[in-house]
Amino acid sequence: MPTRMSSLEDRDLHQRIDADLRRFLAEHQVLDLPAAVMQEIDAIRARFAASYVAS
């Protein structure tokens, strides 16, 4: 009966984590906020920037 470790590719912890990380970086996408919400957020930030500079 093969043991678990001997049947697997010989990679250390950092190599295994790095492979997983590269996969997430390459593949994972997140839907952006809706355009209307982004417009509202941009407007909020712009208003604040103007008032903060003014004060």
Partner 1 sequence: MRRESASARRRRTQGTVTRAADPGLHSGPTAPYDPLAPGLATRLIDAALTLLEETGVVFDPDCEAPSLFAAAGCEVSADGVVKPGRALVRGALDSVARQARLWDRSAERCLELDNRHTWFLPGMTCIKVYDLASGELRESTADDLATITRVADALPNIDAVCIACKDIPRSDIHGEIGEFVVMARNTTKPLEYLCENAESLGVVIEMATAIRGSREALVEKPYFLQIVTPLPLNYAKTHVDQVLMAARAGVPVSVGTLPIGGASSPITIAGCIAQSLATDFAGMTLAQLARRGAFVIGSSDVFFMEPATGAIGNFAQTSLGDMVMCQVRRELGLPSFTGIGGQSAARRFNQDAVWEITANLLQAFYSRPATCDYLGSLDEGMSYSLHALLLCDDLAGLLRSLWQGVVVDDDTLALAQARSVGPRGNYLALDHTVGHCREQVGRHVTSGR
List contacts with partner 1 (CB under 8 A): 4-5, 8, 13-14, 16-18, 20-21, 24-25, 28-33, 37-38, 40-41, 44-45, 48-49, 52
Least distance (Å) between residue 5 CB and partner 1: 5
Nearer to partner 1, 2 or 52 (CB): 52
Say which amino acid occupies 30: V
Q: Left if phi > 0, otherwise alpha if psi is -120 to 50, otherwise beta: which for 31? A: beta
Q: Residue 16 Cβ, how far from partner 1 at the closest point, in Å?
A: 5
Report the C-alpha gap between 35 and 37 in whole angstroms: 5
